[in-house]
Structure 1
Amino acid sequence: MPETARYRAIARTLMREIETGKLATGSLLPRRVDLSRRFGVNRITVDRSIALLAARGLVVSHRGGGTRITAQRPALNLAVITSRAEVESLEAWQRHLPDGGTCQWTHLRLEELQSRSDRAHLSRFDGLLWYLPYSAAYEWIRDIRGKQPQLVLNREMSDVSYVSTDHRTPIRDLTSARLRAHPAAIPVFLRTRPDPLPGVVGLRQEGFVDACREAGRFYEVLDLPEEFAAKQALLEERLRPTAGRPVLLVSSSVFHTGAVATWVCRHHWTWGKELLYSDFDDRFPAHVWGVRVTTFIQDYAQLAEVGTEKLIAMIQGKEKDVRLLLPPVRVDGDT
């Protein structure tokens, strides 16, 4: 388990023990040397776990007096706001939100917040977490700015605090590496129209364009429709085999991979040779596409945890403007 995952896992275990009363409010947390032995980690990892508990208001450390447990019941009233289109993914993701101990969460849907009185009611919360907001929410977010602690998850906004996946740099780096390794490759970016991920697809495209410009290469951007048959027709029209020149195809998301895989199979192209391909958030096993796809995977658990930490720190006055990008995990496949 990576170091980041290990210290967070230890912190979550201790949080559950505090919430259930196994570790009682007012008592001392076990000594750090004992926690190191219990979890089989070094002192630095334990220190990071305890720092996370302290950031969430669960413990206070006293020099020479140990670390005392201070909270057992929810202390902060927080709202997570989504659009209706994101409810299904929120429910899968929501298990990563901390509950008990420090926070009481209320789930609100943007569609239910229409009037200015609805907007005024948001002030009853200690802080707001905007989960993957669409452009319809941006006016609301900017209107609240400076009046109430709030943080946007997985969107980059120049004037509002956010914690987001880095959608630009990983694609730039991978595209640059592939252009160096395959100088004759023809770079093409697959973009979705209409855009289901406002702002996000644009950042991924910027990473691709940055790499092409740095390499002094011409490139093409294809706007793919939503319908599968229409995607196939466009790929047939625009992708042409050129002797000795592989196509470097960068997809803005996993939405296009099925059409690309079908197209490759129909034309008997070789993955990784005639076609270099990558997408984003492709969690499908190899048998679905017939190949292990090179992709970038977002860590929604980390986004939830870090976003919550930063929002709480803003409420407590420990942080003001948060601009944090978290790298996705790169998975190298055969494409």
Structure 2
Amino acid sequence: MGSFKTLATIAVFSLGGVEATLPKTTLATSVRLASETTTSNDATAATLVARADGVSCFADYQGMKDTCNKQGIISNVPDPLLGFGEISFEDCASRCADRSDCNMFSYHETFCTAFTQSLSEMGFQEGPADGFWFEPSCFSCSHSESVVTTVDFENQDVSGWEITGAEGVINIDVQSPVKLGVPTAALRISETQVSGYGRVDLSNSFDLEERESYIIGVSSKSTSFMGPMSNPWGAVTFAIEVDGTQVFKSTPSIGSPIGKTGWGQWSQLFEVPEGLSGPATIWIGVQSDGYQWEYYFDDITVVKL
């Protein structure tokens, strides 16, 4: 793949021979490709948030002037372009992204509403309100033929995850914390009162190819407010290995916020070194001081560029 470089935008990808673009979508911030040994917490990295209907969407709305994750009311209510109930935020984002005439969408609990009008045309006023508003320019999307693996926890099953490291330091289960007004099933790694290093390994593998670039995207939430540099994720390491060799290692970041419930979405880009094609596994490590912090993970996804 050559040397790493900084991308001004990731609005267009060539994925598996299919050129995928999202109309009207250009990211204002830059995204730096991370090497296999990166420890960056860069919150401007694009984040995979949606996979519905064959579309994968990346969010990066930190510091952007567009309307992203805003609460407020509209005084001029037009007929909606689309309206869906009982769908996830991820599905809502991708349905709008797949329509060139969708200029705005709102999400509240399980209800998604999309509009052709801009918020200024609808008389938007920011303030306390139900739901959150997003423009398509908050996202960059591509078709998801190149999704290598995705792990969520809707089936409440964590049998593919194994605890290693020091005994009694961490526990794992599936819980349903609230994300954008509704509970979402997520992997919970909870510290005990025992200090030490604990690790959780995903025994199910997926294939990576040498000299190819990938994005890993994760939704996450932490109850910790401590850690190195007051980073709530400072005690956590997220890694991918091929044949026992790390091809990706990073401390998670807060990333782009999802509503105001403490959830964020973050991602990193990485390249697999030459000679390391084959089955890959994910592991999450926690250096615990016994404070009983909890870490939640959902929608763990790897996409080949």
Higher RCO, 1 or 2 (CA under 8 Å, sep at least 6)?
Answer: 2
More strand per residue: 2
Higher alpha-carbon Rg: 1
TM-score by length of 2: 0.27
Choose between structure 1 and 2: higher helix proportion: 1
